[in-house]
Structure 1
Amino acid sequence: MSVEEKQRAENGRSYDVVVVGGGAAGLSGALMLGRARRSVLVVDAGRPRNAPAAASHNYLSRDGVPPGELLAEGRAEVARYGGEVVEGEVVAAEAVGEGRFRVALGDGTAVGARRLLVASGMVDELPGIPGLAERWGRDVLHCPYCHGYEVRDQAIGVLSTGPMAVRQALLWRQWSDDVRLFLHTGPEPSDEEYEQLAARGIAVVDGEVTGLEVAGRGEDGDDRISGVELAGGTVVPCRALVIAARFDVRAKVVESLGLEMAETVMGDGAVLGSYVAARPGGATGVPGVWVAGNVADPMATVSGAAAMGVRAAGEINFDLVEEETRRAVRERRVAV
């Protein structure tokens, strides 16, 4: 078959639902839709947000499982109920009629869908400190509920780059009594915040962080952060560094559909990133399009993202049932 013939064949495929993204949210939604006897295609670019982490946590009965293993088992479960999972990227999607979408893939092919579930996740924007990105998800961390237990009772540093750093330091103090707040480029804490930090035994370190000191060979993954280097050359002992990453949605398909964006704002007014605005079940302002997972809630953990995918799938299936019922009623009236 020629490339042109293959593309024409691919372009003829159509599904009840196309799921954009094969993480916990997308696969959970696809699993539920497959069990509802819907034809489902999951398009996964293979860049899960938690890929650098050694394990996923707080997922009942699956705590500690490596992210890659969890997703591999999820893909197998989806396939068991007739769902398809393909590696690729959705570069655009557009409505081509009532209840119909054309979904363009990065390889030049396109498929049809009656409904869309966008679960394409987030992209984390990390501070530009040399060596930090390479250690992201290992001992450069952001979520205490995901990683705090693994670094409990160790020396933990919190890198201040914005107004929520003091809150982070106070939170991580739950897991260790050896916590330091590196002021770096963040704002000076208020008098009240200094008092809170002192009351919890959290040291405040002045100066900009310029690098990380790492101990171990790294041949078997046994290398670890041993210290944080300041601009003046001083190295402060540290075994884990907490940061506040900015997170934004993977934007190609979101932009093409014209989905409404919103900002993630903390209680103190700090803007942490963006997400797609949606109703509680994941329905967006674009008819026929649902969102689930981090694209809709940047703070969702693996189990939370999976739950969002399940709820969105239930709404999608019922929306299709209503459409099919309306069609059946029209056809019955014509026949009568």
Structure 2
Amino acid sequence: MQDVIVIGGSYAGMAAALQLARARRKVLVIDAGQRRNRFASYSHGFLGQDGVDPARIWAEACRQLLAYPTVTWVEGSASTIAGGKDEFRVSTAAGDTFAGRRILLATGVADRLPDIPGLADRWGRTVFHCPYCHGYELDQGRIGVIATGAMSLHQAQLLPEWGEVTFLTNGALTLEPEQRDDLRSRGVAIEETPVARIAGEAEVELRDGRVLPFAGLFTATGTEPASPLAEAAGCELIETPMGRQIVTDETKETSLPGIFACGDVARAPHSVSLAVGDGAWAGAQLHRSLVWPE
């Protein structure tokens, strides 16, 4: 019987497991190896790790975590959660079953990218979603913002801090006169010709044949839990401007007693720093729930 089964061994999940390990609790981490930022070569904005390969950050964090003797790591995909508080059972796709008193969902999210040829191939390299993570490296060059919905306007308003911005509406939204005026007051150019494809490093080919070169592109992706586990177990989910996420209270407990959630799957906005902080808080709250069970 594990004290806590952590499903998802990326930044949030490991941060939570570390707090529990340091309280000498038995922790099992089940990880499918699908970090959200696996497409990026460098991670930025994370204090002490700025500019480091995210795979290297993950590997070092994993090494440190597994130095604690009460932590067990299983590579695989969790498929079902059964039982209830103090007697959960988690089964994996490989057919193994593990028992735990508490569950922590740290499965992360999957990005829903615009259906534009060439965009997915450049995701994490020259196409991004977070200016705080990737804007500085564009060296105040030309930036294209490809609209996907209402959140894209916010991106276009913010990104002039990092360079000269062109807002490509791409038929995803219709700008009101006051919104146009606001963008122009910030120096943002508005391009309404639909995007045909992305080529080169970050070249936008429009349907009228024009090609607009950029230092980098941004788009507001929609997100959804990377695993169906939370929904299948009956946890409440909510639709936010950034996508679907698991509902948690201030202790990171979901609508189901004994099941907690943290990281991108349970909060917005998203970054490595915020995921680590959220995971550390969740780990401490999980420990408290074991010390003072209701």
TM-score (structure 1 length as normaliser): 0.84
Q: What's 1:5 paired with?
A: none
Determine if the alignment matches structure 1 residue 229 to structure 2 residue 205: yes
Determine if the alignment matches structure 1 residue 259 to structure 2 residue 235: yes
Q: What's 2:65 paired with?
A: 78
Q: What's 1:4 paired with?
A: none
Q: Which residue type is aligned with residue 292 of structure 1?
A: C
Contact 1:55 1:65 in 2 (8 A): yes
- Give the deviation of 1:93 after TM superposition: 0.6
- Give the deviation of 1:74 after TM superposition: 1.2
Q: 5 Å matches for 1:225-304?
A: 225=202, 227-265=203-241, 272-304=242-274
State the SS of the aligned residue for 1:51. Answer: helix
- Give the deviation of 1:168 after TM superposition: 1.1
Find the aligned partners of 1:165 and 1:74 in 2 and give their Cα distance.
34
Q: 5 Å matches for 1:1-336?
A: 14-82=1-69, 83-95=71-83, 98-176=85-163, 178-214=164-200, 224-225=201-202, 227-265=203-241, 272-323=242-293
Q: Which runs of 4+ in 1 moved over 3 A?
A: none
Q: Which residue type is aligned with residue 103 of structure 1?
A: V
State the SS of the aligned residue for 1:145. Answer: helix
Q: What's 1:9 paired with?
A: none
Q: Which residue type is aligned with residue 170 of structure 1?
A: Q
Find the aligned partners of 1:165 and 1:27 in 2 and give their Cα distance.
32
- Give the deviation of 1:253 after TM superposition: 1.5
Find the aligned partners of 2:150 and 2:271 in 1 and give their Cα distance.
23
Find the aligned partners of 1:167 and 1:195 in 2 and give their Cα distance.
14
Larger radius of gyration: 1
1:80-118 CA-partner distances (Å, limit 9, x unpaired): 11212221111111125x511000011011110111111
| Count of paired positions | 293
1:229-281 CA-partner distances (Å, limit 9, x unpaired): 0111111122211111110012322123210001113xxxxxx3100000122
* Percentage of matched positions with identical amino acids: 38
Contact 1:92 1:252 in 2 (8 A): no
Q: Which residue type is aligned with residue 287 of structure 1?
A: P
- Give the deviation of 1:152 after TM superposition: 3.0
Q: Which residue type is aligned with residue 94 of structure 1?
A: A
1:173-192 CA-partner distances (Å, limit 9, x unpaired): 0011x210112122221111
Find the aligned partners of 2:80 and 2:39 in 1 and give their Cα distance.
27
Contact 1:21 1:119 in 2 (8 A): yes
- Give the deviation of 1:75 after TM superposition: 1.0
Structure 1, unpaired ranges of 5+: 1-13, 215-223, 266-271, 327-336
Find the aligned partners of 1:286 and 1:304 in 2 and give their Cα distance.
24
Superposition RMSD in Å: 1.4
